[in-house]
Amino acid sequence: MRTRLSLLSCLIGCALGSSLVYAQENTEEEAKNEVEQIIITGTASGTAERKVDTSFAITNLSADDIERLSPKSTADIFKAIPGVWSESSGGVSGANVFVRGFPGGGDAPFVTVQLQGAPIFSPPTLSFLENSTLFRFDETIAFADGLRGGPNSILSNGQPGLTTNFILKEGGPETEGLLKYTGSNFGQRRVDAVVSGEVAEDLYVLVGGYFNQSEGIRDTGFDSEEGNQFTINVTKEFDAGKFNFFTRVTDDHGVWYLPVPLNVPGVDNSFSQLGTANRQATINFGPDNETLEVDLADGRGWDGSVSGGSLTLDVGNGWTVVDRFSYTEGDANTFGLVPDGGAIQISQLNANGFATTGPVVGAVTGEEFGQDEFVQRYGRWVVLKEIDAITNDLAITKSLDKAELTFGYFTTSFSTNDWWSLGNTAFHIARQGGEILDGIECNADVDGCGFNFDLNATGDGTTDAFYAAIDYKVNDELSFDVGLRQTNHQIDYTADLGIDGTIDVLVESDENELAWTAGVNWQYERNAGVFFRASEGQRLPFFDDYRDNFGAFQNGEDLIQDVTQFELGYKYAQNNLSIYATSFFTEVEGATFIRIPGGPVETFTNESYGLELDFTYYADNGFSITLNSTLQETEITESPVNEGNEAQRQPGWQIRLTPAYDFEWGNGLESTIYATIFAVDDRFGDNENTVVLDGYEQVDIGFNTYLSEQLQLQVSLQNITDEDGLTEGDPRNTSSPNGRFILPFNAQVSLSYTF
């Protein structure tokens, strides 16, 4: 720990000190050649601003940046944002995303995903649902912003961690389009298409989407990933502003990759417990052991739509109005084979309390297995989740000579209907896609045979918030801003635990909270400055928080997590170099962790501090290098059992380095070759700090080239060394020798035609 602290001090001093000297030595002539980035997220007024002028930590990702990542899921994109640890190893949906040491045990409790500036779903996380599940990247996206900390406490849904805002491409005066085909070494067949243009005077339309099928990066014996998406974006420009409306319909799912048995010979990062012999299952639920036939190949995904838009008006005399709205509805279901304990050999069954009734044979093939074969209990989990949400965010801004005043009103209503059956455990042979077994007693969920949790629940919530902000310019160099947010948060929730017709959880909650942020910015040169920001906010409780902590709620506890943050940042962007370094301190009080639904709850306070670094350099010879890294310390400062420990699944450091080389060949056609080298520190897999997840390195390479002015070829190779890195252990049973690997080596090739 002490070594890491010394390194933190060095990085802060070196990054800020040397960069300041470099910035001060630049001439006025050089300032004219700066590389400027524009952000539209994090400002109370909702208007665009130069990134280098901001007083908060934010990262821009262009469509080209995202394309180089070759993301297998939306959460893969988050890896390019400093301060974020994204475990995207679960497949196309269901990632675990951690922000700046904020505590959590899974999902993404401190992440908001916006589309066109409005949250796609107001609760950042519900059980078995984090925001990135509801979003798919395709060729209709122009760029994305990633805002950490800072003004998040007063803007959007008030979630104080990370807000990612994806912005759609818009049509223009010229008719343009793209057609793209992608194939892979895992049987992918994907077609992307987008076309845009002007349909009437100052009225522009963009239409696009994709169709995708693949066998999945891990072999299951069937097409384990299937999806399609359609987007239409309509923009009307007029003298006083612009109106935009979009709708995005998605039906996309993939197998849920889960921890695998690490103690079984031959199991590596290509292993999948799901296959053709076990994808179809009959589950039992409720006190009468009713049955339901399911296809576990449906995995995790999203079948629904997100619609919305925005209105920007300049009404004169320094007044502007920005209104952003969205409506989301659909199904986000989960099906999977979840390990229940570690793998053991058949010869060990009796010693572990599982009596055999004769030979152990496959229930599908009838194959008899020897005593040395490994077997493992898997739960056949089913979560049916129907959600909807409607959101509106109105901001009115008055611009004065030295100040900008903004008043806003954010409102959202949201609901969920949940039906769960977690459990239904049975022994399977521990092979790729291994079948269920006969010949073992207690091989189903009956009394005393294993964990089972059934749920039928419904919840409705509303959040209304008034916010105000002032941005005051003292002089050409010095400015400050202050923002306040008053929130009313109401939850109505009922849950039938056991699906026996009895309401076990009844919640009627009405909370009022105040959040604030304050920042000062010293822009000592046009393209260089430093800032300091302090903020206080909350993570408000949603449906699952009340169910998991119902006893505490009945005793009068509010279940609100209070978040305090401090940030000190340096920014420099000029010519061919940009440096953004932000040091941070975060405290979260009232954090909770539950290992499995219905299990014991740990309540604790967590502190973290560290440094984020976002660096880009472009050389005159076509070479460029991008670096984003995070160095942090976490500590559980108050806990009945884990005080003094580090927060689970939070690496002390991570670094992502992307060198690239642009060159021309033939008749001046552009090409790029690039690589990404990623390395991460050891992490603890639990708050008890008993399970260590070793650090690892991953190397990706890629190549883009124009074969003609309209035809482009891209090749992407990920994890070229086929590294067996672990993103998590077994979060439900930390003593079991199970773990979830990063995705194995994979290759994609795409050919796109533009017109």
Nearest residue to 734 via CA among 634, 595, 593, 598 = 595
**Residue 173 tokens, joined:** 């005066």
Backbone angles phi, psi at 292, to 5 degrees: -145, 130
d(CA 602, CA 355) in angstroms, rounded, equals: 35
Domains identified in the chain and CATH numbers: 25-754 (2.40.170.20)
pLDDT at 104: 87
Q: Which residues pair with 497 in a beta bridge?
A: 455
Nearest residue to 628 via CA among 25, 79, 233, 191 = 79
Most confident of 91-95, 354-358, 489-493: 489-493
Mean predicted lDDT score pLDDT of the chain: 92
d(CA 611, CA 581) in angstroms, rounded, equals: 7
State pLDDT tens for residues 90-141: 999 989 999 998 998 889 999 999 999 999 999 999 999 999 999 999 999 9
pLDDT at 667: 77
pLDDT at 596: 79
pLDDT at 35: 56
The DSSP result for 70-130, as a single string, is --SSHHHHGGGSTTEEEE-TT-SS--EEEETT---SSS-TTEEEEETTEESSSSSEETTEE
Query: Does pLDDT of 668 surpass 90?
Result: no
d(CA 299, CA 277) in angstroms, rounded, equals: 16
Residues 320-341, mean pLDDT to the nearest whole number: 97
Query: Does pLDDT of 197 surpass 80?
Result: yes
**Residue 185 tokens, joined:** 């070494």
Query: Does pLDDT of 179 surpass 80?
Result: yes
Query: Does pLDDT of 188 surpass 90?
Result: yes
Q: How far is CA 376 from CA 277, 342, 493, in A?
A: 15, 6, 36
Residue for token digits 């003298």?
Answer: 239
**Residue 485 tokens, joined:** 């947010």
State pLDDT tens for residues 44-85: 988 888 999 999 999 999 998 998 889 999 999 999 999 999
Task: HSE, CB side, 13 Å, CA atoms: give it for residue 92.
Answer: 29
d(CA 242, CA 46) in angstroms, rounded, equals: 13
State pLDDT tens for residues 517-570: 999 999 999 999 999 999 999 999 999 999 999 999 999 999 999 999 999 999
Query: Does pLDDT of 226 surpass 90?
Result: yes
d(CA 483, CA 384) in angstroms, rounded, equals: 39
pLDDT at 4: 37
H or E, element range at 546: helix 543-548
Query: Does pLDDT of 326 surpass 70?
Result: yes
**Residue 303 tokens, joined:** 């079948």
pLDDT at 47: 81
Residues 595-616, mean pLDDT to the nearest whole number: 91
Q: How far is CA 326 from CA 122, 695, 753, in A?
A: 10, 40, 32
Query: Does pLDDT of 3 surpass 80?
Result: no
Residue for token digits 């799901």?
Answer: 274
The DSSP result for 688-713, as a single string, is T---EE--EEEEEEEEEEESSSSEEE
Question: 611 near 466, Cβ under 8 Å?
Answer: no
Residue for token digits 């696009």?
Answer: 208
Nearest residue to 613 via CA among 658, 581, 584 = 581
Torsional class of 120: left (φ above 0), alpha (ψ -120 to 50), beta (otherwise):
alpha
Nearest residue to 647 via CA among 692, 609, 596, 685 = 685
Pseudo-torsion of CA 19, 24, 26, 31, nearest 10°?
A: 90
Q: Read off the pLDDT band of 600 (50, 70, 90).
A: confident
Query: Does pLDDT of 30 surpass 70?
Result: no
d(CA 545, CA 112) in angstroms, rounded, equals: 17
For 613-644, letters b (16+ CB in 10 Å) and e give bbbbebeeeeebebbbbbbbbbbbeebeebee
Q: Read off the pLDDT band of 400 (50, 70, 90).
A: very high
Query: Does pLDDT of 442 surpass 60?
Result: yes
Q: What percentage of the chain exceeds 90 in pLDDT? A: 85
